[in-house]
Amino acid sequence: MRIDICFRDRVGIAHEILAVLATRRLNVVAVEVDPPHIYIDSPELHERMLDDLRAACLQVDGVTGLQVIDVMPGVRRRLHLDTMMAVMEDPVLAVDGQARLVVANAAASAVTGLPESSLCQLMLADILDEPGLQEELLQSGFHLPSREVRLRGEPFLLDVKPVSEPELAVQTPLSRLVGAVLTFHAPSRIGGHIHALQNASVDGFDLIIGDSEQMRALKARALRMAAVDAPLLITGETGTGKELLAQACHSVSPRANAPFLELNCAALPESLAESELFGYMPGAFTGAQKGGKPGLFEMADGGTVFLDEIGEMSLYLQAKLLRFLNDGKFRRIGGDKEIRVNVRIISATHRNLHQMVREGQFREDLFYRLNVLHLDMPALRDRPDDILPLARHFIEGACTQAQKPVCRLHSSACAALLANRWPGNVRQLQNVVFRAITMSDRRTLEAQDLDWAEGSIATDQPGIADNEDWDDAMARYERRLLEQLYPHYPSSRKLAARLNTSHSMVAGKLRKYGIPHSR
């Protein structure tokens, strides 16, 4: 039985408590003193003896109580620590002050191929492929910045945490270090952390707002392609949401639980883009991170790499990417070892790759490797049904960010939004709404609020004439709205249903503006 005796601390009280058990010939196998508690494990103590023992202990000056516990605190702590070490997916090693291994978790045993009992007979240098690193750790007092190392031939990012004596837990120049805890992060695990931070809100196709016929067809097609483990090329104008579509495809694919990492090929020069994709070895070039660095392909192993604006990739990088697509292997910059990973490539571009191939600006063989599956993101002007739902969604987000009550759209603002051709697509719509919410104090956004936010939201629309009044401006909006929607809803009844108004009113407007219609 295990007991917890509470006491008021004084010299000799623990000895007196143990003497009470000794007079009853109770063998004690473990004692833990943590004032105001003394924990005792006595296998020979039974429940029938408890009342007598409690009464005897209470006779000791300073003892205030006795209760039964299920497990000794030290044992409980060891069990929890052992379980924590066992479930950690990263290899973890604890070393003493001479860099001798004293604790290793299951992941470390798996990487080294040695059981913990064998590992704890080795020095750190025996398992690290880094000559001089053990000595560097000892000389620095186990204070090293994170760096890449190799553990039995495999690359890991090493984090080191010094361990001090308990009474000197707050580090001072006089603290005596007793060792350190070393954590090794695999590149794929690092990629998983980056993915979790950057894409925490991604939830399939639900985040792609749009219920137009074009978007329903696109989502259905994308859902089928997401399940196929083959390269996917997404085309579409700038600002249509190609990256969001790529994330959605990944999140419903068999690789959904693995990293989704991205590289904008237009945002980096060739040398940096190469190192971001393929990584580099120590000393590969001036300014390289000490110890080397894994690239996106290594960190996304098992997942997806999204190459945005693939049309901006240089011919040199196109050749390296083609080789990787052919056999799934690559070499880090400055390295001679081939690394094999399993990633899916999703690429996107707003450029005409067919024309670039004809002009020799894009490799034809790479184009066919990337274009195994193809999705085309429609421009916003080609799906007018989605304009107002998107605008309302952006209004909610902008109002939340500006800490304002959610605004609503006046009919004139709706007409203005629908009449615009949106050359900047969804991104332009989001910017227009954000500026309007930021600059307006109205609870209802009107057309002039949108114009004020961006001058003239329709770039191909002439400005308001000096002699134009409200009726003239509304007539111009009405004409543009009907001219834009009529091709998609080619009858007055369909158009009236779309605008949620009467058939006779729409028919009259169509006649007024001379727009072809059928009854």
Q: How far apart are CA 146 and CA 184, in angstroms?
A: 10
In this structure, the number of other CB atoms found within 10 A of the CB of residue 193 comes to 12
Q: Which residues of 125-155 are buried (b: 16+ CB within 10 A; e: fewer)?
A: eebbebeebbeebbeeebebeebbbbbeeeb
Please name the residue that has the structure tokens 């690193």. Answer: 133
Q: How far apart are CA 480 and CA 382, in angstroms?
A: 15
What is Dmax (Cα atoms) for the chain? 112
Check residue 517 and give its pLDDT.
47
Residue 173: cis peptide before it, omega within 30 degrees of 0:
no
Q: Would you say the pTM of this structure is higher than 0.75?
A: no
425: left (phi > 0), else alpha (psi -120 to 50), else beta? left
State the first-to-last Cα distance of the chain, in angstroms, to the nearest integer: 92
C-beta separation of 322 from 277 below 8 A = no
Residue type, 21: L
Check residue 453 and give its pLDDT.
45
What are residue 259's phi and psi, to 5 degrees? -65, 150
Pairs from 428-433 (Cβ < 8 Å, separation ≥ 24) = 428/239, 428/380, 429/380, 429/387, 429/390, 429/391, 429/394, 430/390, 430/394, 432/457, 433/391, 433/394, 433/395, 433/398
- Closest of 461, 266, 473 to residue 381, by C-alpha: 461
**Which are the contacts of 305, defined by CB distance < 8 A and separation ≥ 6?**
261, 262, 263, 277, 296, 297, 343, 344, 345, 346
Check residue 368 and give its pLDDT.
95
Torsion of CA 265, 270, 275, 280, to 10 degrees: 160
- Closest of 335, 328, 319 to residue 297, by C-alpha: 328
Check residue 268 and give its pLDDT.
86
CA 208 to chain centre: 18
Q: How far apart are CA 56 and CA 52, in angstroms?
A: 6
Q: What is the pLDDT along the chain (519 residues), one digit of tens a residue?
A: 999 999 998 889 999 999 999 999 999 999 999 989 999 999 999 989 999 999 999 999 999 999 999 999 999 998 888 888 888 888 999 999 888 998 889 888 888 888 888 888 889 888 888 878 889 888 888 888 888 888 877 888 888 999 887 654 455 544 577 889 999 988 877 776 676 666 655 567 887 888 888 999 999 999 999 999 999 999 999 999 999 999 999 999 999 888 899 999 988 888 889 999 998 887 666 665 666 788 899 989 999 999 999 999 999 999 999 999 999 999 988 888 889 999 999 999 999 999 999 999 999 999 999 999 999 999 998 898 999 999 999 999 888 888 888 888 888 888 888 888 888 899 999 999 998 888 888 888 888 888 644 444 544 444 455 556 667 777 777 787 888 777 777 888 888 877 777 778 888 888 888 887 443
Q: Read off the pLDDT of residues 293-341 as tens digits, 9 standing for 90 and up.
A: 888 999 899 999 999 999 999 999 999 999 999 999 999 888 888 899 9
DSSP H helical segments within 333-424, as ranges?
353-358, 364-370, 387-402, 411-419
What are residue 489's phi and psi, to 5 degrees? -135, 75
